[in-house]
Amino acid sequence: MKTVLFQSKGGAGKSFCSRLLYAYHLSKNQTSHFIDIDNASGSLTKFFNSIEERKNPKIEFANFNLMGANKKIDRSLFDLLLSEISTRENVVIDAGAATSEQILYYLRDEEPNGIIGDLKEMNIRLMLVVAGGGSARECYDFFEEAKNIPGLKDITYVVANEFLGEINGLSVKEYFDADIQIRTLTNDPTSAAELEWSNLMNNGFVMQDIEQLPLFRKRRILNYLKDIFNQIDSL
């Protein structure tokens, strides 16, 4: 997996998934590049800023703006981003909800010009994050819009975020036939363990932070991550 662009509606869990990929690359001790193109909340920027002094030197981070003055994707900026990452391996790009929506429109408009084929040739994949609960309707609409762009399915992985609940009695993975399933850490999303894990994911962590947890909690988190990492490896 060379490059991943996260797309979805707001609140589906894109930034959470990008942080899981951060943990994945930490576990592999791989040189990796993370780029925040979310011009609104910049949650990935906040995450990396919180660990700036402790970050593994193999993990690089940068911001990039894709939006033009008209609040739409600027073609020259998009091409510049592709040029910047064309010679790199292991790139994760985190887009906010508004940017994700504009990327989708841009890919739809540029599809006749071969943009999907260009992304595939560069080994760029999209991770489309979908969730249940109150986000299910918007995720479904975004998912259907993406499916209607010719060729986009071939470069898209669907990630099911189970944190917000089921959809019509089915798990999110079952409902969307997703490639990756992100379960809750425990059966109780309001438990102390879940809150502790959410705090780490929101406020930034390095692997030493997990290693320093009490044995039971450390083992639970490492097993949880192992399940997700195995799914990523199988793609």
pLDDT tens by residue, 36-94 = 998 667 788 989 999 998 999 999 999 999 999 898 999 999 999 999 888 888 999 98
| For residue 97, pLDDT beyond 90 | no
Residue whose token pair is 């894709």:
66
Predicted confidence band at 1 (pLDDT cuts at 50, 70, 90)?
low
Q: What CATH number does the domain containing 146 carry? A: 3.40.50.300
Three-state secondary structure string covering 48-75: HHHCCCCCCCCEEEEECCCECCCCCECH
Residue 166's domain spans which residues?
3-233
Stated pTM of the model: 0.92
Q: Contact at 8 Å (CB) between 146 and 155?
A: no
| For residue 111, pLDDT beyond 90 | yes
* Domain count within the chain: 1
pLDDT tens by residue, 168-205 = 999 999 999 999 999 999 888 778 888 888 888 888 89
Q: Contact at 8 Å (CB) between 67 and 96?
A: no
